[in-house]
Amino acid sequence: MSNYTVDRTKWQKLSIFDQMGNIYSEVGRTFSAKQAGDEKRAQEATARALDLFDATAEKLAADNSPKLREVLRVREIFVDESKHAQTTSLDNYLMQFAVAARTRQFK
């Protein structure tokens, strides 16, 4: 298992779109590894995704943001879906943040 943890200071400076887009990458890696039968890679990606969810939640909680509830719910869905290797609803939801983050880069 990887001992990776996100740099909280840098993470807090990202927009919610960038944060959720990066979470989407780790979620995707989790499900890709599971589908390939690589449990070690899946566990490492899951740990990274959960760390990113937690870092996002910490910032939102500190800011008393109404977005906190949504992020925690998505985290909960990820944990449930990762047990069964189901990606459809979560994949579609998180992809929208990645697209928004990319679109914002070019404005």
User: Does residue 6 form part of some domain?
Assistant: no
- Residues 71, 92: Cα–Cα separation, whole Å: 15
Prediction pTM value: 0.86
Q: What residue type is 98 in one-letter code?
A: A
Residue 4 lies in a domain: no
Q: Does the structure show a pLDDT above 90 at 26?
A: yes
Cβ(33)–Cβ(41) under 8 Å?
Answer: yes
pLDDT confidence tier of residue 45, bands split at 50, 70 and 90: very high
> Phi/psi of residue 32, each to 5°?
-65, -45
The answer as to whether 15 is a domain residue is no
pLDDT for position 101 = 76
Rounded Cα distance between 4 and 64, Å, is 27
Domain-located, residue 14: no
Residue 8 in any domain: the answer is no
pLDDT for 105 equals 66
The number of domains in the chain is 1
Lowest mean pLDDT among 33-37, 45-49, 80-84, 94-98: 94-98
Give per-residue pLDDT as tens, 71-93.
999 999 999 888 876 666 787 78
Range of weakest confidence among 12-21, 23-32, 68-77, 88-97 = 88-97
> Distance (Å, rounded) from C-alpha 105 to C-alpha 18?
10
Is 49 a member of any domain? yes
Structural domain that includes position 61: 21-105
Alpha helices in 1-107 (DSSP H): 8-13, 16-35, 39-62, 67-84, 88-105
What rounded mean pLDDT belongs to the chain? 88
